[in-house]
Amino acid sequence: VIVATQMLESMAKSPRPTRAEVSDVTNAIYDGADCVMLSGETAKGKFPTEAVRTMNEIILAAERYTTSGALGHSYHRPAFVGPKTADSAVAKAAVTASVERDCAAILVLTQHGSLPPLVSAYRPRVPIFAFCPTPKLARQLQVYRGIHPIVDSTLTDDNDCKRPEQAVQEAKDMGLLQSGDEVVVVSMDGTTATMKIAIVS
């Protein structure tokens, strides 16, 4: 779900948003929007940089609130709609495992981009690091809630299932994970989605 149009419309002419606009952006996050979008504020407004910075600050504050311990459960209800497939079952299991094992992240290795949105639809409380082969696919995945794409041109249909340990190490090398963290890794083995829990060494 992308929420767009006149999110911070007053910032086309003013460096500060109205209280109602701040409330609208905040409530979009609380309601589970995947993405909020600026249009006229940045296309023709006088304060495009300030509008982006303000939107980011509102989003970060709202997300901190939704992930706080006592309240997180009420803001992380699954938003999955569609047929219940084997892949969606694996995605749901990955999110459940991330909660039960207090994991630091969910890593998804994807060649075509179908798995990360399924994981995102179950609203995990941890980031989803999606390893994908092209910048184009990475840009497409950015609009889904909680997905942080990582371009890895070595991914192919043949080796998705062979690379979980390498993906964990790459995420650690990038500073996204620390030694001792537990993570859930989702990948494809042929046409079947698989899930495993790994400990960062």
Average pLDDT, the chain: 88
- The number of C-alpha atoms within 13 Å of 72 and in the hemisphere containing its C-beta is 11
Look up residue 151 and give its amino acid.
V
Number of domains in the chain: 2
Residue 77: pLDDT band (50, 70, 90) is low
Residues 167 and 90 in one domain: yes
Q: What is the mean pLDDT of residues 92-115?
A: 94
Instruction: Evaluate if residue 108 carries a pLDDT over 80.
Output: yes
Residue 70, pLDDT above cutoff 90: no
User: How big is the chain by its Cα radius of gyration, in Å?
Assistant: 18
Same domain, 59 and 89: no
Place of tokens 């609380």: 30
Residue 88 has pLDDT above 80, yes or no: yes
* Total-model pTM: 0.79
Judge whether 195 lies within some domain: yes
Work out the average pLDDT over 37-48: 93
Give percent of the chain above pLDDT 90. Answer: 62
Q: How confident is the model at residue 157 (pLDDT cuts 50, 70, 90)?
A: low
Confidence tier at 158 by pLDDT (50, 70, 90): low
Instruction: State the Cα–Cα distance between residues 51 and 194, nearest whole angstrom.
Output: 41
Residues 62, 124 within the same domain: no
- Amino acid letter for position 199: I
Residue-number span of the structural domain to which 25 is assigned = 2-66
Answer for the pair 48, 57: CB distance below 8 angstroms, yes or no: no
Q: Using the 3D structure, point to which of 11, 40, 66 is the last residue of a domain.
A: 66
More confident residue, 141 or 164: 141
What are residue 117's phi and psi, to 5 degrees?
A: -65, -35
Q: Is pLDDT above 60 for 190? A: yes
Please check whether residue 61 lies inside any domain of the structure.
yes
In a domain, 32, yes or no: yes
